Chain A
Amino acid sequence: MVTTEMMTLKTEPFILNFGPVHPSTHGVYRMRATLDGEVVIDIEPVVGYLHRGIEKLAEERTYTGFIPLTDRLDYISPMSNNLAYCLAVEKLAGIKVPERAEYIRVIMAELQRIANHCIAVGSFLNDCGAFFTPFLYLFREREKIYDLFEMVCGQRVTYNYMRIGGVSQDIPDEFLPALQKFTAKLPGFLEEFDFFLKQNEILLARAKGVGILTKETAINCSISGPVARASGVKQDLRKADPYSIYDRFEFDIPVGEAGDCYDRYRVRIEEMRQSLRIIEQAMPDIPSGPVRADVPHLVRPPAGEAYAHIEAPKGELGFYLVSDNSIAPYRCHVRPTSLINLTALREMVRGWKVADLIIIFGSIDITMGEIDR
């Protein structure tokens, strides 16, 4: 005879390791998840597998010599890293950038945002189970951006394009027509792409209402970028603290309401459209002239400190530099967007199932190169 006592099974939580090498962790990230059956009780992030000591390396390089290393921070969007670092050095040394270079920088940074969101959205949909179909369509568009980048600097991944006081070389004659062709076609693609996904039943079921991050938690945990905006924090450094020449362009800040995975997806799609708007406004106005200020090869900023930040595709990316009037920084600190954005992950996944843990994590969009540095 089966008694009630026999039917109540004894359960206990167990620990499951995700990663460091796991397709859902987007790099060498490890999560120690404590599970109760299929429900997540707690997670502990374990990072450092890609730690290269980039902040220490900066202290032994010249200011210009550090630029290639910034490419290796967030390797999904190196142009933004270049820009943030150059802005910090320019602030420290009081260097004025020529107009033409400012326009080129803005175009590159916005193209980079589109390329980054292609990966962010694509891999998020991969995690949701739309295995590689939307991902490859997005990769096709990203490939076109990479062709544009290759045209200006000869590189496809680590660009090393920006310099202190401008950019390394002028854009070639064929660049603007190619960019025009790209910007003319992208809205149609986005429209079609979004049409198939925004009402997709599976995506709605998997992402809507899942992994909610409240506005208060987002602010308290220093979350920035699309993740914060999806939670209703209307903060975009391009508007709140305009750097470069962003105050000249018209664009909107897309904001979500619920703060769930679906809103994070929507905000990214909308941000791609806004980036296109900025590029289209910048293209016809590019003035002629030099692309680099007259800066000596060995920059020696006066002793002091400076922090410059930009709205990188993943959020606020900043460099804190301390100079002792030598040719190398005394201290160089990177504000790691991806690392800080992970602070709230624990609260976001608690109580959800393992399958949801994967997509909540995927919706944050991180790069290990920036977390570990």
Chain B
Amino acid sequence: MTVALSGKEIASQIEEKFPGSIEESGKDSLVVKVDSLLPVAAFLKDTETLKFDYLNYITAVDYFSYFEVIYQLTSLEHNHTVIIKTRCYGRENPEVPSVIGLWQGADFQEREIYDLMGISFEGHPNMKRIFLWEGFQGHPLRKDYL
């Protein structure tokens, strides 16, 4: 059975290494500040005891006051998993650093989120729409689209 690691426990480990990088932590997940997402993600991937080498999925949710980007990571070796999130406040040009350098599986998923939710991923080599055509107005999965 894949063990879902407690967000609080992981958060305390991260806080030790990167003070002030955690926004919130709960039972199932933790919220990382946008500007420290990349170092935290690299820490989660490279630490021997955690070793999150597999990115299950990335998705995003529009909560009106902020956008939340969700990453679920799994370690195939230790068979444990964690959900990390990050938040973008403000609806104009939200931006999150791309994790494609760590997990290449993020490639199409980040493009999909950009296309449908309008969050751009800084550092992605090919940040353009994937399903809809260039020139399409708006981002359909945003709650104020329809």
Please list the residues of chain A having a beta carbon within 8 angstroms of any beta carbon in chain B: 47-48, 51, 53, 55-56, 217, 219-223, 233, 235, 240-242, 307, 309, 316, 318, 320, 322, 330-331, 333, 335, 339-340, 342-344, 372-373
Instruction: Note all chain A residues with C-beta closer than 8 A to B43.
Output: none
The CA of A344 and the CA of B104, in the complex, are separated in Å by 9
Contact B2 A241 (CB under 8 A): yes
Q: Closest residue of chain A to B81, judged by CB?
A: A241
Instruction: Note all chain B residues with C-beta closer than 8 A to A333.
Output: 57, 59
Contact B131 A372 (CB under 8 A): yes
The CA of A241 and the CA of B72, in the complex, are separated in Å by 15
The CA of A133 and the CA of B109, in the complex, are separated in Å by 37
The CA of A235 and the CA of B74, in the complex, are separated in Å by 11
The CA of A320 and the CA of B61, in the complex, are separated in Å by 10
Instruction: Note all chain B residues with C-beta closer than 8 A to A340.
Output: 57, 105, 108-109
Instruction: Note all chain B residues with C-beta closer than 8 A to A373.
Output: 131
Contacts A222-B54, A240-B2 given; does A56 touch B140 at CB 8 Å: yes
Contacts A51-B132, A335-B57 given; does A222 touch B76 at CB 8 Å: no
Contact A219 B130 (CB under 8 A): no
The reply to whether the CB of B53 lies closer than 8 angstroms to some CB of chain A is yes
Distance in Å: Cβ of A48 to nearest Cβ of chain B = 4
Q: Mark B37-62, 1 if CB is under 8 A from A, else 0.
A: 00000000000000001111101011
Instruction: Note all chain A residues with C-beta closer than 8 A to B108.
Output: 339-340, 342-343
Q: Closest residue of chain A to B133, judged by CB?
A: A48
Q: Closest residue of chain B to A306, judged by CB?
A: B28
The reply to whether the CB of B79 lies closer than 8 angstroms to some CB of chain A is yes
Q: Closest residue of chain B to A241, judged by CB?
A: B2
Contact B131 A318 (CB under 8 A): no
Contact A343 B61 (CB under 8 A): no
Distance in Å: Cβ of B105 to nearest Cβ of chain A = 3
Instruction: Note all chain A residues with C-beta closer than 8 A to B62.
Output: 331
The CA of A47 and the CA of B116, in the complex, are separated in Å by 14
Contact A219 B56 (CB under 8 A): no
Partner among B57, B76, B104, B130 whose Cβ is within 8 Å of the Cβ of A343: B104
Contact B76 A219 (CB under 8 A): yes
Tell me the number of A-to-B contacts counted with CB atoms below 8 Å.
79
- Contacts of B63-116 to chain A: CB distance below 8 A: 70, 72, 76, 79, 83, 103-109, 112, 116
Instruction: Note all chain A residues with C-beta closer than 8 A to B107.
Output: 221, 343
Contacts A53-B140, A340-B109 given; does A242 touch B1 at CB 8 Å: yes
Contacts A48-B132, A242-B1, A335-B56 given; does A221 touch B140 at CB 8 Å: no
Contact B105 A221 (CB under 8 A): yes
Contacts A56-B140, A220-B105, A343-B107 given; does A48 touch B57 at CB 8 Å: no
The CA of A259 and the CA of B106, in the complex, are separated in Å by 22
Contact A322 B61 (CB under 8 A): yes
Contacts A47-B130, A56-B140, A322-B61 given; does A316 touch B79 at CB 8 Å: no
Contact B54 A320 (CB under 8 A): no
Contact B104 A220 (CB under 8 A): yes
Instruction: Note all chain B residues with C-beta closer than 8 A to A48.
Output: 130-133
Contact B105 A222 (CB under 8 A): yes
Distance in Å: Cβ of A318 to nearest Cβ of chain B = 6
Distance in Å: Cβ of B4 to nearest Cβ of chain A = 10
Instruction: Note all chain B residues with C-beta closer than 8 A to A316.
Output: 56
Contact B140 A241 (CB under 8 A): no
The CA of A125 and the CA of B108, in the complex, are separated in Å by 28
Instruction: Note all chain A residues with C-beta closer than 8 A to B132.
Output: 48, 51
Contacts A235-B76, A240-B2 given; does A320 touch B70 at CB 8 Å: yes
Contact B104 A51 (CB under 8 A): no
Distance in Å: Cβ of B63 to nearest Cβ of chain A = 9
Contact B1 A318 (CB under 8 A): no
Instruction: Note all chain A residues with C-beta closer than 8 A to B127.
Output: none
Distance in Å: Cβ of B30 to nearest Cβ of chain A = 14
The CA of A365 and the CA of B50, in the complex, are separated in Å by 32
Partner among B72, B106, B112 whose Cβ is within 8 Å of the Cβ of A307: B72
Distance in Å: Cβ of B47 to nearest Cβ of chain A = 17
Instruction: Note all chain B residues with C-beta closer than 8 A to A339.
Output: 108-109, 112
Known: A55-B116, A222-B56. 15 other contacts (CB 8 A): A48-B130, A48-B133, A56-B140, A220-B53, A221-B103, A222-B55, A222-B104, A307-B83, A320-B70, A322-B61, A333-B59, A335-B57, A339-B109, A339-B112, A343-B107
The reply to whether the CB of B141 lies closer than 8 angstroms to some CB of chain A is yes
Interface-centre pick from B1, B2, B57, B83 (highest chain A CB count, 10 A): B57
Instruction: Note all chain B residues with C-beta closer than 8 A to A343.
Output: 104-105, 107-108
